[in-house]
Each structure stands twice: as C-alpha cells, then as structure tokens.
C-alpha cells in the first residue's frame, strides 16, 4: 500500500513525497479513505502513529475539491487540541501538506497577543487549529463564527478532559452545525471519552490501533536503580555518552524540570525546560532550539510535552517515574517514530518502585535493569 492507492489529489501526493513518506502508517491507511467517504471517526491511537496526516490530508482534499469559488471564505474545518505545542504542530502539518492549495489556516492559542490571530480571522480563513480556551474567548468577543463548519477534529481528547476543557468543548460544539463530519482521537478510551464520543459522533467508524498499554516496538527500554539524591549525578554520567544525540527528559513537576536544567547547565550541558509556567515565546524558543539541535536536551512535564514531535529523537529519559503507568507509554512514544529506532531510560529511586511495578504489569514485561553504572543500588 502506498499513498497513490488512497485516492489523494496530486498536490497532496507531491507534499507527502516531499516529506519523504513512501507508505501510509496503519492509521493513515484506515482513516484517510474513511474521512474521504464522509464518515465520522472514533480513533484510539497513540502519538507518533502519523495521526495528524490521517485527518489533515483528507480534510485538505475535501476543502479543496468541494469549495464554492464564488463564496466568501468561511471557517469550514475546526481542529481542537489541548496544548499550544500540539496546536502549533498540527497547524504546521496542515500548512506543509496544503502548500499547493488555496487554503488559509489560522492557529489560535493563548499566552500571546491575539492581534495577529484576529487579523487573520477578519481577512478570512478556511481552517482553524485551536486550543479551546483562547478560541472560546475570541468567539465571545465576536471574532469567530463557526456556523459554516463542515469538519470537526478533537485531537488528544483524553488530555483535553484531564486539563478540564470539557465545558469549553461543549460550548464550542454547541455553536457548530448539527450536520458535519466529526473525528475524535484519543490515546485512551475511558468512560468519559466514550460518553463524549457518543454525544458528538454520528455512527462512527472505530479505528483502534493503540493498545495504549503497548510501548513502541522500536524503542529499547532500560531502568537504572539509583538513590534519589544521586539522580542528577547519574544524569550527567549518562549524558557523557555522545550516542545520546538529542534527549527529551521528563519530570513530574515544573519545579523539578527547572532544577534539572540548572544542574545540567552547571555541568556544561545545554538544556532548556518547557512547562506551563513558561511564557509562550520561551516555550516556542526552547522547542525551536531543540528541533534545530542548538540544544541537546529538552526537559518537559507531561502536560507540556503533548505536541512535542521531533524527527529522529534518539532518547527519552524518565528522570522521575510517572505515577500513571499509561503516562510511561506516552512518554517513551516520543522516540522510535516513523520507523526509526529509539531508546528510553528510566531512573528509579526506592520510593518509585511501586510505579515501576505497575508499568511492568501494564506492558506485560519487566524492563531490563542496567547495573553497570557508578550509582547502582540493589
């Protein structure tokens, strides 16, 4: 199966080829024809499965081939995502794939001035990619009309629920036409997500690709048992290995992320942190520097990390083991994407052993223990 088999129009095939993609991922193979047939989708898929292209390509095609050339531009597609980083990432992919098309996209999120966003809206756009909070704010100010929306996508729906956006989502969807095509994607499918899906989707096709419990198969996993106070020394020791080309490090708290960055900089390792207390411009800069390899290490909290999509990310380090076993799977899924290999290292102190045990239970295997390091404990 290749992209030509999916009945995509030539400008989109050209864009896909330019990105160097030869074959669709499983979710793209299933979702693209389904969206082109006009059906709703309830998709369970982890990040790193090619999910954005799975909805961006068919939506762009439908907007391009079904547009009324005489009609004034109106918002015809709305994509909602939980974090600024993910909104920016999705918008970037829409722009890349839509280069050869006459389609305007606006990105809407908080933390920055709304001026550029409102100007773009006033000049007419086809697609809005937005975080719910700022979008609702602009709707209340009268800058956004959604009565012509034909396509709605809710991405990372489980994370939106975790972050308390459910009421915002309901207020936004209440302003959309009842007759529309809706796609909901979530890494997990708890009861609340199923209820939300039932209220928004019409006879959806279910695409379930992610046993959420399964780590990516191309990611090697290892755990280092270490005293809590020695974690910073272990991190510096591990980062001496130059095969760790670009490393995403996870902490549980914003304060912890900042502390790790300070320790690394003190040891001559370039690093920046990305979390909710940082300004949007600081977050954008950190991500840009990491993607361009100006810095080797990015330290993130779980919420801020949604939407961090870095080509060929070599390593993920769990500086702290997450309390939720599913979060571990999300974290390590940042590497080992699109056929690349990756490695996930986890630092486990004595108080975190119960979390590690839950991870083993979830993924149905024990992670290999590294004993050959200077700070090993039994």
The answer to whether position 202 is within a domain reads yes
Ranges 167-171, 298-302, 324-328: which has the least confidence: 324-328
Do 160 and 238 fall into the same domain? Answer: no
The answer to whether position 378 is within a domain reads no
Residue scoring higher pLDDT (338 or 183): 183
Residue scoring higher pLDDT (159 or 230): 230
Give yes or no for residue 184 having a pLDDT over 80. Answer: yes
Do 120 and 232 fall into the same domain? Answer: no
Q: How confident is the model at residue 63 (pLDDT cuts 50, 70, 90)?
A: very high
Ranges 32-36, 63-67, 70-74: which has the least confidence: 70-74
Do 18 and 140 fall into the same domain? Answer: yes
User: What's the mean pLDDT in 226-242?
Assistant: 92
Task: Give the model confidence (pLDDT) of 13-34 as tens digits.
Answer: 999 888 878 788 888 999 999 9
> Residue 225: phi, psi to the nearest 5?
-85, 130
What is the structure's pLDDT at 215?
Answer: 56
- The total number of structural domains in the chain stands at 2
Do 223 and 186 fall into the same domain? Answer: no
Do 178 and 254 fall into the same domain? Answer: no
The answer to whether position 376 is within a domain reads no
Do 135 and 248 fall into the same domain? Answer: no
The answer to whether position 374 is within a domain reads no
What is the structure's pLDDT at 217?
Answer: 62
Q: Convert the chain into a string of H (helix), E (strand) and C (coil).
A: CCHHHHCCCHHHHHHHHHCCCCCCCHHHHHHHHHHHCCCCEEEECCCCCCHHHHHHHHHHHHHHHCCCCCCCCCCCEEEECCCHHHHHHHHHHHHHHCCCCCCCEEEECCCCCCHHHHHHHHHCCCEEEECHHHHHHHHHCCCCCCCCCCEEEECCHHHHHHCCCHHHHHHHHCCCCCCCEEEEEECCCCHHHHHHHHHHCCCCEEEECCCCCCCCCCEEEEEEEECHHHHHHHHHHHHCCCCCCCEEEECCCHHHHHHHHHHHHHCCCCEEEECCCCCHHHHHHHHHHHHCCCCCEEEECHHHHCCCCCCCCCEEEECCCCCCHHHHHHHHCCCCCCCCCEEEEEEECHHHHHHHHHHHHHHCCCCEECCCCCCECC
Question: Which of 149, 184, 208 is the endpoint of a domain?
Answer: 208
Do 156 and 256 fall into the same domain? Answer: no
pTM, to two decimals: 0.64
Q: Are 217 and 363 in contact (CB under 8 A)?
A: no
Question: Which of 161, 182, 208 is the endpoint of a domain?
Answer: 208
Do 126 and 241 fall into the same domain? Answer: no
Task: Give the model confidence (pLDDT) of 88-130 as tens digits.
Answer: 989 999 999 998 898 999 999 988 889 999 999 998 999 999 9
Question: Which of 148, 173, 208 is the endpoint of a domain?
Answer: 208
Do 260 and 168 fall into the same domain? Answer: no
Do 187 and 317 fall into the same domain? Answer: no
Enclosing domain of residue 34 = 3-208
Ranges 29-33, 204-208, 278-282, 355-359: which has the least confidence: 278-282
In CATH, what number is assigned to the domain containing residue 28? 3.40.50.300
């Amino acid at each position: 199966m290749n992209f030509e088999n999916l009945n995509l129009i030539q400008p989109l095939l050209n864009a896909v080829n330019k990105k160097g993609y030869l074959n669709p991922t499983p979710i793209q193979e299933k979702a693209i024809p389904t969206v082109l047939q006009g059906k709703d989708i309830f998709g369970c898929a982890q990040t790193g499965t090619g999910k954005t292209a799975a909805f961006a390509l068919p939506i762009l095609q439908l907007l391009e081939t079904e547009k009324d050339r005489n009609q004034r531009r109106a918002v015809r597609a709305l994509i909602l995502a939980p974090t600024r980083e993910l909104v920016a990432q999705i918008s970037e992919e829409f722009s890349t794939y839509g280069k050869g098309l006459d389609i305007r996209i606006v990105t809407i999120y908080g933390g920055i001035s709304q001026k550029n966003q409102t100007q773009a809206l006033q000049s007419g756009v086809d697609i809005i990619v937005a975080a719910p909070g700022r979008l609702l704010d602009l709707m209340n100010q009268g800058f956004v009309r959604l009565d012509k929306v034909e396509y709605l996508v809710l991405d990372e729906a489980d994370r939106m629920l975790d972050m308390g956006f459910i009421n915002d989502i309901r207020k936004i969807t209440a302003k959309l036409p009842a007759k529309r095509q809706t796609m909901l994607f979530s890494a997990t499918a708890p009861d609340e997500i199923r209820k939300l899906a039932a209220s928004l989707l019409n006879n959806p096709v279910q695409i379930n690709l992610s046993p959420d419990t399964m780590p990516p198969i191309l990611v090697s996993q290892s755990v280092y048992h270490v005293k809590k106070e020695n974690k910073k020394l272990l991190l510096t020791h591990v980062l001496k290995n130059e095969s760790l080309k670009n490393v995403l490090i996870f902490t549980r708290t914003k304060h912890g992320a900042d502390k790790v960055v300070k320790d690394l900089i003190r040891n001559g390792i370039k690093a920046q942190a990305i979390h909710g207390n940082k300004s949007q411009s600081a977050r954008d800069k950190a991500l840009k520097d990491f993607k361009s390899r100006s810095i080797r290490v990015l330290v993130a909290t779980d919420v801020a990390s949604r939407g961090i999509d870095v080509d060929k990310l070599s390593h993920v380090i769990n500086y702290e083991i997450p309390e939720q076993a599913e979060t571990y799977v999300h974290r390590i899924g940042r590497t080992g994407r699109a056929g690349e290999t990756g490695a996930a290292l986890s630092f486990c102190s004595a108080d975190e052993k119960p979390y590690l045990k839950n991870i083993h239970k979830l993924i149905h295997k024990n992670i290999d223990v590294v004993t050959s390091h200077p700070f090993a404990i039994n």
